Amino acid sequence: MCLLEQINYQLILSDIYEEIANIDYEGNVANYIPQLAKVNPEKFGIHLCCLNEGNYAMGDSNEKFSIQSISKVLSLTLAFSMMGDKLWERVGVEPSGNPFNSLIQLETENGIPRNPLINSGALVISDILVSNLVNPKADYLSFIRKISGSDEIQYNTAVANSEKETGFRNTALINFMKSFGNIKNDPETVLDFYFHLCSIEMTCKELARTFLLFANHGTLTGTGECIVSRSQSKRVNAIMQTCGFYDEAGEFSFKVGLPGKSGVGGGIVAIHPDKYSIAVWSPKLNKKGNSTKGMKTLELLTTRTELSIF
Ligand code: DON
């Protein structure tokens, strides 16, 4: 029981789990990254962490999965903490209304991506981190370990290499932006860093704990360290709310009403400021690249608790 609100999260999560675990929702595992196509599509895990330390879990919540685009929120956070508002000279804050790997807006918008959570935007953020970190891969991993509170977080090199072999879209995006002068480093170096940050693996528990930071206004709950300011944390949450689900961001806001982020590994993480963070993993994706069961779980959660940010 989460004492702050007298909500029995464990009961609510177990009801939701029982209700939808065996429903065969439509969708497919991501197959454009060959390593991800091998994941068991039936996996289903949930972990919710309350700010008051309550933890509630169901199903495969302690199994590692590829966090993929969810990492974009964390790379944005690191770059924002280092660069402040100068960041917004290189990337915008508007929803794109387009698929996550779309090239189309870049041509008429001078190679400035609409936001940091689509692939083009995350590539620009990766370029900024490659310029500003001493050892980009090692330093990024240290940052993730610090905010997750776990030294067990790793890159999955097989997934990163698998994406490199088939990453023709991302290669096109980065070269296109380079032609506008919005990529400063060697595209191959930036792509390698980007594929690695997408390949990070976490369990639902680790992911929920990592994102508790954004429910806590930018401060780590364990150590009290301020990672980003209150205002910066608000802005990261606003970007998740408006851009976290690409051309399905409106639908997620409409049905769930929380800031969140999805990844093609089938993970979704969402936060309720001042209350909790929750991670769900179910690898079958809908046509927009978001976990079908994950979206349904979160819709049922905010419906049954009658709590969202709206
Ligand atoms: O760049 C890509 O295509 C993947 N590494 C990440 C895409 C992703 O997770 C989109 N999410 N729903």
List the chain pLDDT tens, one digit each, 310 residues: 555 568 999 999 999 999 999 898 889 999 999 999 999 999 999 999 999 889 999 999 999 999 999 999 999 999 999 999 999 999 999 999 999 999 999 999 999 999 999 999 999 999 999 999 999 999 999 999 999 999 999 999 999 999 999 999 999 999 999 999 999 999 999 999 999 999 999 999 999 999 999 999 999 999 999 999 999 999 999 999 999 999 999 999 999 999 999 999 999 999 999 999 999 999 999 999 999 999 999 999 999 999 999 9
Cα 261 to middle of ligand 1, angstroms:
11
pLDDT of residue 4: 52
Q: Return the closest-CA partner of residue 119 out of 285, 263, 282, 291.
A: 263
pLDDT of residue 26: 84
- CATH code for the domain defined by 69-198: 3.40.710.10
- Catalytic residue selected from 194, 233, 261, 293: 194
pLDDT of residue 284: 97
- Catalytic residue selected from 73, 190, 228, 264: 264
Buried b (16+ CB within 10 A) or exposed e, 269-278: bbbbbebbbb
Residue type, 241: Q
**Alpha-carbon distance 233 to 81, whole Å?**
10
In CATH terms, the fold of domain 9-32+39-68+205-305 is Beta-lactamase (3.40.710)
Query: Do the interacting molecules here have an ipTM over 0.90?
Result: yes
CA atoms within 13 A on the CB side of 204: 27
Residue with CA closest to ligand 1 atom 1 = 119
Q: Which helix (H) or strand (E) holds 231?
A: helix 230-243
Question: What is the secondary structure of 196-219 as a DSSP string?
Answer: HHHT-EE-HHHHHHHHHHHHTTTB
Question: Does 61 count as an annotated binding residue?
Answer: no
Among positive and negative, which fits the CA dihedral 98, 276, 256, 295?
positive
Give the domain ranges of the chain: 9-32+39-68+205-305, 69-198
Cα 286 to middle of ligand 1, angstroms:
13
Answer for the pair 222, 210: CB distance below 8 angstroms, yes or no. no
pLDDT of residue 2: 53
pLDDT of residue 52: 87
Residue tagged 């969810």 (tokens): 70
- Per CATH, 9-32+39-68+205-305 and 69-198 having the same topology is answered yes
